[in-house]
Structure 1
Amino acid sequence: MVEKTTKNMSVFDLNGVPTLGKATPLGLQHVLAMIVGNVTPAIIVAGVVGLNSADRTLLVQCAMFIAGIATLLQLYPIGKVGSGLPVIMGVSFAYVPSLIAIGSQYGIAGIFGAQLIGGIAAIIVGIFIKPIRKYFPPLVAGTVVFTIGLSLYPIAINYIAGGVGSPTYGAFINWGIAIITLSVVLFCNQFTKGYTKLASILMGIVVGYVISITFGIVDFTPVREAAWFAVPKPLHFGIEFYPSAIITMIIMYIVNSVQAVGDLSATTVGGMGREVTDKELSGGIIGNGLSSVIASLFGGLPTATYSQNVGIVAMTKVVSRFVLALAAGFILLGGFVPKFGAVMTTIPQSVLGGATITVFAMITMTGIKLIIQDELSGRNITIVGLAVALGMGITQVPQSLALFPSWVMMVFGSSAVVIATVVVFTLNLILPQKTLADEQKEREEMELKG
């Protein structure tokens, strides 16, 4: 009887229910690791589509709300929806380049329309993940992730400079605050341990924010105007459907759904000492698709598993769903407190830029790590190089597609990620498979013939 009680209270058991005293700090650890990454995409998108102060706050509030809902759905599956694994969900940076492209042309309603259809596509991928998975080896997934990282760099630099359209864009004060913020992030991440290391980005933002306040560049008006409690409003931002935007988001959802396989696998291998099952993979992807559909109706942006939280699970071996459900509860609470969202929107863009450039750099390096899981044969180098070259090249010179139909310009001229995905997927299918050994053999045969 004692053994059963001990097991049920263990933080190292999936179904363990530890005391609140033990679970609370472990849950807060997950919140600290994800909170900045969860709200920043909403702040970026709000700026691009030109939302007013109240709507910016609401978009951040909805990011918290949907992250909590999506996490709970993963922790405690309903039928075939949800993985049942200890993962934290949140708004994903991977979608930001595409969201910016769609939002710039079609506004926030166009984003949510494309997101709704994209979420349905993710559900379909989840149902058929087993046969689909083989078409997205590390080479393909890694190239996409690598391109996502590269696409995010201009966003970070523009933020560091003060934000496009700001009268102080490029000013020394903006760069100074951004560099101080970045320095704090690097110091906490590389020279400290425990909570400080875990919350290094948050620490950098706090320091940068305080410095910004002392220079009088923080406007607290949105905080004063925001309510203490409010429920997210369904369809507040509206929803509109545009074919080119939908195509873009379907491609992104397919790729990111397959990419979720990596996070779910890392969770079970690192935290539970076993491989992930097909049922867990399917349920996890279906759950994320459904979460995104729900998010599109409530004003939340696309969600994904958070790799940093997967890393915490793998490092600590704390897999109790109760611990992560408590974290989800804290996140969800933020979704009902507009003042929290309002505070987030007052963070100067230079502070966000200095803090998030490290996140974007890590996304890029994650892509490289995935790419080199496959051999760097001449074939694979050609595939990756062409995909990235065409993706980044065309989007830097979008007028090169000026005489194409407008939908082509929208789908391929504004998103390097979409182009890279199409190219790497196609080339990987049609180019003959050749290993380094095969290429070496070909060279030897050529020498013999010569």
Structure 2
Amino acid sequence: MNEMKAPAGSVFEMSGVPPMKQVVPLGLQHVVAAIVGVITPAILVSNAVGLEVADKTLLIQVSLLITAIATLVQVFGLWRVGAKLPVVMGVSFAYVPTLLALANGYHDLSVILGAQIVGGCVAILFGIFVKQLRVFFPPMVTGTVIFTIGLSLYPTAVKYMAGGAGAADFGSWQNWLVAVITLAVVIFCNNFTKGVTKLASILMGIIVGYLVALCFGMVDFSSVGAAGIVAVPVPFKFGIKFVPAACVSMAVMYIVNSVQTIGDLTSTTLGGLDREPTDRELSGGIVCQGAASVVGAFFGGLPTASYSQNVGIVTVNRVVNRVVFGFAAVVLLIAGFVPKFSALLTTIPQCVIGGATISVFATITMTGIRMISSAGLTPRNVSIVGIAVALGVGVTQVSGSLAGFPEWVGTVFGGSSVVISTLIAILLNLILPKDRAAGK
């Protein structure tokens, strides 16, 4: 009888089944870390396009479903699709600048979805040939990408801590108090406790922050009451159109985000498994990203990518068990079919999310620094990293710096520091003479 039971396993090993008392809090931590990132792009795009309330709700629901399905495929694999690594996939903030530019330019969601299909196909091709393309992304270049990703996420965390961009009470002392309390609980649990409390420090911080926000009257339950019981997505609800300019913009973004996925997968294996990812894992991971985007487009789901904030959690607590991530995906799947459940998750104030995730974003940045340091801080590498980050962050921080170029240049390069930093790092790595002593 005993041999028929699943192995107890450990949360620090990918295989096996850990106790549910560990799986539940650790899985919920990933759900909470991802939930705002999943629904916010859908809200922003639906507002920019001008969708009705019912369609906006549907867009959010599909985002949850696609996130869940993509995560399950990424974690457990489906033929050669999926990295089979502990990575959460979801609708990504990285595409938001381009999505909003297309929404404001065309006011038609079908144009975005058509461009997304093309971009997803480009990502699939990138994943298939990643072994040949990986030579362009040594640890120093990948470290630069991860470092820039971390830096680019700081403003997002701070906006959350201040209450969320566009909020009536943005920057209020109440928002900052709740955010700081949340962050303090995360730091305390991570450094002064043991066991599940330490491993689920992000979740502990969010629970305390949520209770404090509740006392301040900052939690709005109206969306829960208005939400339906069950919602099933309908294919081709929003239509699909292929506009060449839009397709090119999205294709470029998918290439860049494929590089980001390399960074996230590398960060996951380094932080959680103490090794580099294999070519097979990178290929499956990127193909999964592209395939999820293509399938999602038919139902109204927005572009998917690996979630850096969840990668950061792995690097902090080193929990890599597939069951934990599978549980998180199932929770998101339920949320996608049960609007009232997903609406409850969205009641978490943004200041709480910001206070909980800023430490995660800091960890991502430090992972990039560690990779850069592992390549050696030679004059050549210092130049590559310094110039790439300076141009990437600098251009995106100065509004209108690309005003003299065609509009598509600003759309592609002006909205994301990761795009510029990645391209500059690759270019300089190819051009600058190798270090003789190090052979690099």
Secondary structure of 1:165's aligned partner: coil
Query: 1:445 maps to which residue?
Result: none
* Equivalent-residue separation in structure 1 for 2:328 and 2:171 (angstroms): 38
Letter in 1 for 2:86: V
Letter in 2 for 1:11: G
Query: 1:34 maps to which residue?
Result: 30
The answer to whether residue 104 in structure 2 is matched with residue 100 in structure 1 is no
Instruction: Check the 8 A contact 2:227/2:339 in 1, yes or no.
Output: yes
Query: 2:67 maps to which residue?
Result: 67
* Equivalent-residue separation in structure 2 for 1:294 and 1:120 (angstroms): 11
CA 1:42 to 1:197, structure 2 compared with 1: closer, same or farther past 3 Å?
Answer: same
Query: 1:446 maps to which residue?
Result: none
Structural mapping, 1:349-428, within 5 Å: 349-428=350-429
* Equivalent-residue separation in structure 2 for 1:31 and 1:385 (angstroms): 37
Letter in 1 for 2:89: G
Give 1:134 shift.
1.2
Give 1:293 shift.
2.2
Query: 2:341 maps to which residue?
Result: 340
Instruction: Check the 8 A contact 1:161/1:350 in 2, yes or no.
Output: yes
- Name the count of aligned residue pairs: 424
Query: 1:432 maps to which residue?
Result: 433
Instruction: Check the 8 A contact 1:244/1:410 in 2, yes or no.
Output: no
Secondary structure of 1:400's aligned partner: coil
Give 1:135 shift.
0.8
* Equivalent-residue separation in structure 1 for 2:224 and 2:424 (angstroms): 46
Letter in 2 for 1:194: G
Deviates more, 1:55-64 or 1:288-297: 55-64
The answer to whether residue 136 in structure 2 is matched with residue 135 in structure 1 is yes
* Equivalent-residue separation in structure 1 for 2:359 and 2:271 (angstroms): 23
Letter in 2 for 1:87: P
CA 1:50 to 1:207, structure 2 compared with 1: closer, same or farther past 3 Å?
Answer: farther
* Equivalent-residue separation in structure 2 for 1:345 and 1:53 (angstroms): 16
1:302 is matched with which residue: 301, 304, 318?
304
Query: 1:24 maps to which residue?
Result: 20
Letter in 1 for 2:186: V
* Equivalent-residue separation in structure 2 for 1:388 and 1:311 (angstroms): 23
Structural mapping, 1:66-85, within 5 Å: 66-83=66-83, 85=84
* Equivalent-residue separation in structure 2 for 1:35 and 1:141 (angstroms): 27
* Equivalent-residue separation in structure 1 for 2:59 and 2:23 (angstroms): 24
Instruction: Check the 8 A contact 2:392/2:419 in 1, yes or no.
Output: yes
Letter in 1 for 2:9: V
Letter in 1 for 2:64: M
Instruction: Check the 8 A contact 2:144/2:372 in 1, yes or no.
Output: yes
Letter in 2 for 1:42: V
Secondary structure of 2:86's aligned partner: coil
* Equivalent-residue separation in structure 2 for 1:162 and 1:324 (angstroms): 29
Letter in 1 for 2:256: M
CA deviations over 1:112-152 (Å, ceiling 9, x no partner): 44443332222112211211111101111111121122122
CA 1:188 to 1:275, structure 2 compared with 1: closer, same or farther past 3 Å?
Answer: closer
Give 1:202 shift.
2.2
Give 1:376 shift.
0.8
Give 1:162 shift.
2.1
Instruction: Check the 8 A contact 1:212/1:348 in 2, yes or no.
Output: yes
Deviates more, 1:379-388 or 1:352-361: 352-361
The answer to whether residue 183 in structure 2 is matched with residue 186 in structure 1 is no
Give 1:104 shift.
5.1
The answer to whether residue 255 in structure 2 is matched with residue 254 in structure 1 is no
Query: 1:11 maps to which residue?
Result: 9
Consecutive unaligned residues of structure 1, counting only runs of 5 or more, are: 440-450
CA deviations over 1:277-314 (Å, ceiling 9, x no partner): 54444333322321232233332541327535755996
TM-score by length of 2: 0.83
Secondary structure of 2:337's aligned partner: coil
* Equivalent-residue separation in structure 2 for 1:27 and 1:411 (angstroms): 40
Instruction: Check the 8 A contact 2:143/2:369 in 1, yes or no.
Output: yes
CA 1:386 to 1:436, structure 2 compared with 1: closer, same or farther past 3 Å?
Answer: farther
* Equivalent-residue separation in structure 2 for 1:277 and 1:152 (angstroms): 27
Query: 1:447 maps to which residue?
Result: none
CA deviations over 1:214-265 (Å, ceiling 9, x no partner): 2223221111011222223445566565146314422323312433552575
TM-score by length of 1: 0.81
Give 1:435 shift.
5.1
Query: 2:331 maps to which residue?
Result: 330
CA deviations over 1:9-30 (Å, ceiling 9, x no partner): 46379776x5xxx553454254
Deviates more, 1:379-388 or 1:115-124: 115-124
Letter in 2 for 1:202: L
Secondary structure of 1:401's aligned partner: coil
CA deviations over 1:188-227 (Å, ceiling 9, x no partner): 2222222222322222222222222222232211110112
* Equivalent-residue separation in structure 2 for 1:61 and 1:239 (angstroms): 19
Deviates more, 1:212-221 or 1:56-65: 56-65
CA 1:154 to 1:48, structure 2 compared with 1: closer, same or farther past 3 Å?
Answer: farther
Secondary structure of 1:434's aligned partner: coil
Instruction: Check the 8 A contact 2:73/2:288 in 1, yes or no.
Output: yes
* Equivalent-residue separation in structure 2 for 1:395 and 1:280 (angstroms): 32
Instruction: Check the 8 A contact 2:182/2:352 in 1, yes or no.
Output: yes
Instruction: Check the 8 A contact 1:267/1:314 in 2, yes or no.
Output: yes
